[in-house]
Amino acid sequence: MKEYKIIRIIEPDFGCEGLPEDGERCDEVLLRSADGGELTLTVSDAYLYEINADEGSSVLSDGEKIFAKEERR
């Protein structure tokens, strides 16, 4: 696992149709590591709220998912 900083959270715009009934709201999250490596992941909006993650937050990632840092829980 590697530590990343959330650089940007891009929320989707569903326009006037809105979110489909069976759809889960997901955001594109741009992460940057201390060595400058960047990673973009699709993450559930609800999960970002659950782990209290926002732009500027530090998180851990295995390259496929993000996780709250232990001290943030």
Sequence-distant (6+) residues with CB within 8 A of 41 are 28, 29, 31, 61, 64, 65, 66
pLDDT of residue 35: 96
Give me the residue spans of the domains in the chain. Answer: 2-13+24-72
pLDDT by residue for the chain (73 residues), tens digit each? Answer: 999 999 999 986 655 565 566 667 899 999 999 999 999 999 999 999 999 999 999 999 999 999 998 644 3
pLDDT of residue 3: 96
**Whose CA is closest to 48, among 10, 13, 1, 21?**
10
Are 43 and 27 in contact by the 8 Å Cβ rule? The answer is yes
Bridge partners for 41 per DSSP = 29
Report the alpha-carbon distance of residue 24 to residue 56 in Å, rounded.
Answer: 24
pLDDT of residue 72: 41
* DSSP at 56: T
